[in-house]
Amino acid sequence: MVERTVESIEKNINQVVLIKTMKKTWIFVVAVLLCGCNRENINAQIMNEKLYVTIGGETRTVTMEDNVGTRALVAALQTENITYLADDYGNFEKVGHVGQSFPTADHQITTSAGDLVLYNGNNICIFYGSNSWSYTRIGKFDNLSADEVRQFVKAGQGEVAITLSLQPIQTGIRDFSPEENDKGPAYTITGQIAPQGYKGVVIQNGKKRIQ
C-alpha cells in the first residue's frame, strides 16, 4: 500500500513537471513568433516609407532599400530632420558628413545617377554620375532622369544644404505679386521659420535675402 502511494505521488510530480515544461516551451515559441512578426512589420514599414530630400527649396522623393543602415536612418528621422552640407567630389557625386553614424551593410556596387548611399557610416553620397566602391545603399530618386538629378543636386556648383525628412518640408517659396506686402514670415533654407534674431540666408515672400 505504501509503495503504491509513493508511485502515485511520483507520477503526479512527473505530470506537473511535464506540464510546466510544456508551458515554458509554448511561451518561448510564442515569443519568438511575435518577435519575428514585429521585425517583419518594421521592415515592411521601412520599405513603404519615402525619404524626402530637399535642396534649395525643391523636394524630391527616394524609394529606400531595406537594410540596417536605412532602418537606423528612419529611426533618426522619426525624431528630427537631418540637414547637412554636401559638396561635389570626383565630378560624380555630392557628399557630406551627416553629423552622426549609422550601422552599415556595405558591399561592392556600381552607382548610377540618382543613387543615394551611406559611406563610412557617417557620410551620405548623392550620385549624379557613376562610381564603383563599397557602400551601403539607401535608395534611389523616384522618376528622375540623369539630367534632372544633376539639376536638382546642382552638380558642379559647389556646396549645398541638404535636408532629409520623412515628410514634405514647407519651404515658404511660392508665386507672389509685386502688390503683396514685403513683410511676412521668413524661412531658413531648410524650410523652418526663422527665429527672431536669426542671421543668415532666409526666404521671405518667395525671395531669398540675407539678414
Distances (CA, A) of 9 to 12, 104, 147: 5, 58, 83
Q: SS3 helix, strand, coil % of the chain, rounded to 5? A: 30, 30, 35
pLDDT (tens digit, 9 = 90+) per residue, 175-184?
Answer: 444 444 456 7
Q: What is the pTM (predicted TM-score) of this model?
A: 0.63
Per residue of the chain (211 residues), give pLDDT as tens. 545 554 555 555 556 545 555 554 555 444 445 545 455 555 555 556 899 999 999 999 999 999 999 999 999 999 999 999 999 999 999 999 999 999 999 999 999 999 999 999 999 999 999 999 999 999 999 999 999 999 999 999 999 999 999 998 865 544 444 444 456 777 776 667 778 777 777 777 656 677 7
